[in-house]
Amino acid sequence: MTDATFSDPAAARQSVPPARAGGLRLPLQWLGVAPFFIFALMFLIFPTFYLVVGAFQNDQGEFTLANIASLLQPSILAAYWISIRVSLASAVLGALAGLAISIAIVRGGLPRWVRSATMTFSGVASNFAGVPLAFAFLATLGRLGLVTVLLRTWFDINIYGLGFNILSFAGLTLTYLFFQIPLMVVIITPAIDGLKKEWGEAAATLGATQVQFWRMVVIPVLWPSFLGTVILLFANAFGAIATAYALTGSSLNIVPILLYAQIRGDVLHNPHLGYALAFGMIFITGLANVFYIWFRTRSERWLK
């Protein structure tokens, strides 16, 4: 339908001057974006909404807070807690490491090829997640992994004897860093580029030390994009399941894995508790997103 309208040259020519196309043609204008909105509603917003509503209903379809209350049972709380810890740790560590690498390649006076190689690699690694990533880390730091074996034979260090386990909080965090750090590099490098060399020179001529310049200009300028990216990385890790599932099976009890098991086999014996579990995930990432938007607008207040 919409296509037919738009391919009619006569209609198109009538609506040429955008100024005149305003009020009268409003419904026709909306036809242009209708497919997008219908798609978004049907396959993004309604399905999510369906779960959110379900989280507040009992089997009879009546309103209840019982499902949300059931989230407070120890095993589910523990799942949320470890998910938040892994996501937060990998987001913060990934952001700091990514920031350091970004500053090094933009500001460190390294040859040009270092920067372009790093950016290319980051583009690849930030998209290298999921099951294969888990394989790579099992081959590296698993019980028979190359690094594990070399540390044992060369330096007589048995990392598993020291309490390390790839199937743990530390192991999962270390694995997630493989896509978190590059994602940070990809996102934050433009922001570092935005730090003008002249700012540093202006600060120097005004008598500021490097430390003063960083404290008064660099950190305040970078802070919103840094924090915004941390939150994005957090959401990125919080919803990830494939890596963790392939790495640990279901031995590590994080929320996405719990939800996965619930969808497959109703392990919680209450469909509405599954909805509540999903609602909890959206709630946490949504909360993070509110911060993200807030910091974005702050960042934009300064930078144009």
Partner 1 sequence: MKPSRFWAWLTFALGAAYFFIPLIATFEFSLRMRRGEYSFDAYRVVFGDVRFQETFAYSTIIACFTIVIGVLLVVPTAYWIRLRMPQIRPVVEFITLLPLIIPAIVIVFGYIRMYGSNSPLPFLATTRGTDVLLMIGYATLALPYMYRAVDTGLRTIDVRTLTEAAQVHGAGWTTIIVRIILPNVLIAVLSGAFLTFAIVIGEFTMASLLNRPAFGPYLQNIGANRAYEPAALAVISFAITWGCMSVIQVLARFAPKSANNPN
Partner 2 sequence: MSETFLSIQGVRKAFGQTTVVKDFNLEVARGEFVSFLGPSGCGKTTMLRMVAGFEEPTAGRIMIGGKDVTNLKPNQRNIGMVFQAYALFPNLTVSQNIGFGLKVAGASKAEITDRVKEMLSIIKLEGFGDRYPYQLSGGQQQRVALARALAPKPKILLLDEPLSALDAKVRISLREEIRAIQKKLDITTIFVTHDQEEALSMSDRIVVMYDGKAEQVGTPFEIYNRPSTKFVANFVGTLNVLDGTVVDPATATVRINDRDISLKKGQLNGAKAGDVLSLALRPEAIVLGKQDGRDTNLGGQISDVSFLGSVIRVRVGLGKNAVSLDTFNSPASPPPVVGERTEISFSSDDLLVLH
Total of chain residues touching partner 2, rule CB under 8 A: 21
Q: Which is nearer to partner 2, 269 or 304 (CB)?
A: 304
The Cα–Cα gap between 269 and 261 comes to: 11
Q: What's the rounded Cα separation, in Å, for the pair 268 and 258?
A: 9
Distance CA 102, CA 124 (A): 16
* Residue 302 interface partner, choices partner 2, partner 1, none, CB cut-off 5-8 Å depending on type: partner 2
| Binding-site partner at residue 301 among partner 1, partner 2, none, CB < 5 to 8 Å by type | partner 2
- Under a CB-based contact definition with an 8 Å cutoff, are residues 26 and 20 in contact? no
Q: Which of residues 185-224 bind partner 2 (CB under 8 A)?
A: 196, 198-199, 201-209, 212, 216-217, 220-221
Binding mask 267-296 for partner 1 (x = CB under 8 A): -------x---x--xx--xx-xx-------
Which of 72, 264 has the CB closer to partner 1?
264
Site for partner 1 in 109-148 (CB under 8 A): 109-110, 114, 118, 120-121, 123-125, 127-128, 130-141, 145-147
Structure tokens at 159: 């990392």
**Binding-site string for partner 1 from residue 76 to residue 95, where x marks contact by CB under 8 A and - marks none:** --------------------
Q: Provide the 10 A C-beta neighbour count for residue 42.
A: 10
Site for partner 2 in 56-115 (CB under 8 A): none
Q: Among partner 1, partner 2, none, what does residue 291 contact (CB within 5–8 Å per kind)?
A: none
- At closest approach, how far in Å is the CB of 77 from partner 1? 19
Site residues for partner 2, 245-304, by CB under 8 A, read 301-304
**Binding map of partner 1 across residues 2-31, x = CB under 8 A, - = no contact:** -x--xxxx--xx--x-x--x-------x--
With 0-12 / 13-18 / 19 or more C-beta atoms within 10 angstroms meaning exposed / middle / buried, residue 229 is buried
Number of C-beta neighbours around residue 137 at 10 A: 22
How many CB atoms within 10 Å of residue 144? 8
Among 172, 235, 268, 273, contact with partner 1 (rule: CB under 8 A)? 235
- Least spacing, CB of residue 66 vs partner 1, in Å: 19
Structure tokens at 95: 């952001």
User: What is the binding site for partner 2 (CB under 8 A)?
Assistant: 196, 198-199, 201-209, 212, 216-217, 220-221, 301-304
